[in-house]
Protein backbone atom coordinates (compact mmCIF):
# COMPACT_ATOMS: atom_id res chain seq x y z
CA UNK A 1 0.00 0.00 0.00
CA UNK A 2 2.79 2.43 0.93
CA UNK A 3 4.62 1.58 -2.30
CA UNK A 4 1.50 2.28 -4.36
CA UNK A 5 0.96 5.66 -2.65
CA UNK A 6 4.62 6.55 -3.18
CA UNK A 7 4.34 5.60 -6.88
CA UNK A 8 1.22 7.75 -7.34
CA UNK A 9 2.98 10.73 -5.70
CA UNK A 10 6.09 10.24 -7.86
CA UNK A 11 4.03 10.07 -11.07
CA UNK A 12 2.04 13.18 -10.08
CA UNK A 13 5.23 15.10 -9.32
CA UNK A 14 6.76 14.02 -12.65
CA UNK A 15 3.66 15.25 -14.52
CA UNK A 16 3.83 18.65 -12.80
CA UNK A 17 7.55 19.04 -13.55
CA UNK A 18 7.04 17.98 -17.18
CA UNK A 19 4.17 20.47 -17.68
CA UNK A 20 5.98 23.41 -16.06
CA UNK A 21 8.25 24.34 -19.01
CA UNK A 22 5.24 24.43 -21.33
CA UNK A 23 3.38 26.77 -18.97
CA UNK A 24 6.46 28.96 -18.56
CA UNK A 25 6.97 29.21 -22.32
CA UNK A 26 3.49 30.64 -22.89
CA UNK A 27 4.02 33.19 -20.13
CA UNK A 28 7.22 34.34 -21.86
CA UNK A 29 5.65 35.00 -25.26
CA UNK A 30 6.91 38.28 -26.60
CA UNK A 31 4.57 41.23 -26.30
CA UNK A 32 4.11 43.39 -29.37
CA UNK A 33 4.21 47.17 -28.98
CA UNK A 34 5.06 49.71 -31.66
CA UNK A 35 6.34 53.23 -31.06
CA UNK A 36 6.75 56.26 -33.31
CA UNK A 37 8.58 59.56 -32.77
CA UNK A 38 8.58 62.88 -34.64
CA UNK A 39 10.10 66.30 -34.04
CA UNK A 40 7.18 68.69 -34.50
CA UNK A 41 8.76 72.10 -35.10
CA UNK A 42 12.17 71.44 -36.60
CA UNK A 43 11.70 71.30 -40.38
CA UNK A 44 15.15 72.83 -40.85
CA UNK A 45 18.15 73.41 -38.62
CA UNK A 46 17.32 74.81 -35.17
CA UNK A 47 19.36 77.26 -33.14
CA UNK A 48 20.61 76.55 -29.61
CA UNK A 49 17.98 77.79 -27.15
CA UNK A 50 15.08 76.72 -29.42
CA UNK A 51 12.27 74.69 -27.85
CA UNK A 52 11.37 71.68 -29.95
CA UNK A 53 8.45 69.31 -29.62
CA UNK A 54 8.78 65.54 -29.71
CA UNK A 55 5.65 63.49 -30.18
CA UNK A 56 4.66 59.99 -31.16
CA UNK A 57 2.46 57.04 -30.42
CA UNK A 58 2.59 53.77 -28.49
CA UNK A 59 0.38 50.98 -29.85
CA UNK A 60 -0.30 47.52 -28.48
CA UNK A 61 -0.20 45.02 -31.37
CA UNK A 62 -0.66 42.02 -29.02
CA UNK A 63 -3.89 40.19 -28.28
CA UNK A 64 -3.35 40.71 -24.54
CA UNK A 65 -2.77 43.62 -22.16
CA UNK A 66 0.82 44.86 -22.23
CA UNK A 67 2.74 46.66 -19.46
CA UNK A 68 5.95 48.40 -20.46
CA UNK A 69 8.39 51.09 -19.39
CA UNK A 70 9.56 53.79 -21.73
CA UNK A 71 12.66 55.98 -21.78
CA UNK A 72 13.14 59.02 -24.02
CA UNK A 73 16.74 60.21 -24.27
CA UNK A 74 18.71 62.40 -26.67
CA UNK A 75 22.35 62.49 -27.72
CA UNK A 76 24.15 65.39 -29.38
CA UNK A 77 26.91 64.95 -31.96
CA UNK A 78 29.46 66.06 -29.34
CA UNK A 79 28.38 63.36 -26.85
CA UNK A 80 26.00 65.26 -24.56
CA UNK A 81 23.30 62.79 -23.40
CA UNK A 82 20.03 64.04 -21.91
CA UNK A 83 17.25 61.97 -20.30
CA UNK A 84 13.99 63.62 -21.39
CA UNK A 85 11.22 61.40 -20.00
CA UNK A 86 10.52 57.97 -18.55
CA UNK A 87 7.49 56.25 -17.10
CA UNK A 88 5.39 53.07 -17.26
CA UNK A 89 2.29 52.43 -19.35
CA UNK A 90 -0.35 49.73 -19.68
CA UNK A 91 -2.21 49.23 -22.95
CA UNK A 92 -5.17 46.97 -23.62
CA UNK A 93 -5.14 44.90 -26.85
CA UNK A 94 -5.17 47.15 -29.93
CA UNK A 95 -5.03 50.34 -27.84
CA UNK A 96 -2.88 53.31 -28.87
CA UNK A 97 -1.73 56.34 -26.85
CA UNK A 98 -0.19 59.55 -28.11
CA UNK A 99 2.73 60.99 -26.15
CA UNK A 100 4.35 64.42 -26.29
CA UNK A 101 7.39 66.15 -24.74
CA UNK A 102 8.91 69.59 -25.27
CA UNK A 103 12.62 70.28 -24.83
CA UNK A 104 14.66 73.47 -25.00
CA UNK A 105 18.05 72.99 -26.60
CA UNK A 106 20.77 74.28 -24.25
CA UNK A 107 22.50 77.47 -25.39
CA UNK A 108 25.86 75.67 -25.33
CA UNK A 109 24.73 72.78 -27.56
CA UNK A 110 27.22 71.97 -30.30
CA UNK A 111 26.28 72.14 -33.97
CA UNK A 112 25.37 68.95 -35.76
CA UNK A 113 22.84 66.14 -35.46
CA UNK A 114 20.89 65.71 -32.23
CA UNK A 115 19.16 62.31 -32.02
CA UNK A 116 16.18 61.59 -29.76
CA UNK A 117 15.36 57.92 -29.13
CA UNK A 118 12.29 56.39 -27.45
CA UNK A 119 12.98 52.87 -26.09
CA UNK A 120 10.41 50.49 -24.61
CA UNK A 121 11.08 47.59 -22.26
CA UNK A 122 8.83 44.93 -20.75
CA UNK A 123 8.24 45.48 -17.02
CA UNK A 124 7.30 41.79 -16.58
CA UNK A 125 10.67 40.46 -17.71
CA UNK A 126 9.52 39.08 -21.07
CA UNK A 127 10.60 40.26 -24.48
CA UNK A 128 9.04 43.31 -26.06
CA UNK A 129 9.19 43.59 -29.85
CA UNK A 130 7.41 45.11 -32.82
CA UNK A 131 5.33 43.08 -35.28
CA UNK A 132 8.52 42.54 -37.30
CA UNK A 133 10.34 41.12 -34.26
CA UNK A 134 12.73 44.05 -33.78
CA UNK A 135 13.23 45.75 -30.39
CA UNK A 136 10.55 48.35 -29.70
CA UNK A 137 12.25 51.72 -30.23
CA UNK A 138 12.14 54.73 -32.55
CA UNK A 139 14.47 57.66 -33.25
CA UNK A 140 14.39 61.05 -34.92
CA UNK A 141 17.19 63.47 -35.72
CA UNK A 142 17.18 67.27 -35.43
CA UNK A 143 20.01 69.37 -36.85
CA UNK A 144 21.38 72.06 -34.53
CA UNK A 145 23.11 74.98 -36.23
- Find the domain containing 67 and state its range: 30-144
Class of residue 85 by CB neighbours under 10 A (exposed 0-12, middle 13-18, buried 19+): middle
Number of domains in the chain: 1
Residue range 13-25: average pLDDT?
42
Q: What percent of the chain has pLDDT over 70?
A: 77
Residue 120 lies in a domain: yes
Inside any domain, residue 84: yes
Query: What is the structure's pLDDT at 92?
Result: 95
CATH number at residue 53: 2.60.40.3880
Q: What is the model's pLDDT at position 4?
A: 53
Look at residue 92 and tell me if it is in a domain: yes
pLDDT-based confidence at residue 1 (cuts at 50, 70, 90): low
**Mean pLDDT, all residues of the chain:** 81
In this structure, what are the phi and psi dihedrals at residue 86, rounded to the nearest 5 degrees?
Answer: -160, 150
Residue 19: per-residue pLDDT: 46
Q: Are 30 and 128 in contact (CB under 8 A)?
A: yes
Residue 67 lies in a domain: yes
- Report pLDDT digits (tens) over 107-141: 988 999 999 999 998 887 766 777 777 778 999 99
Global confidence as pTM: 0.74
Residue 1 lies in a domain: no
The answer as to whether 9 is a domain residue is no
Is the pLDDT assigned to residue 100 strictly greater than 70? yes
CA–CA gap between residue 69 and residue 35 (Å, rounded): 12
Q: Is residue 10 part of a domain?
A: no
Specify if 21 maps to a domain. no
Amino acid sequence: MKVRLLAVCAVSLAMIVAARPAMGASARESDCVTVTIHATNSAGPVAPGTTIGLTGQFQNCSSKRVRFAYNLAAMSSCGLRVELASDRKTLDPGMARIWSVSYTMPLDTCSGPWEATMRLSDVNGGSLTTEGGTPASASTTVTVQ
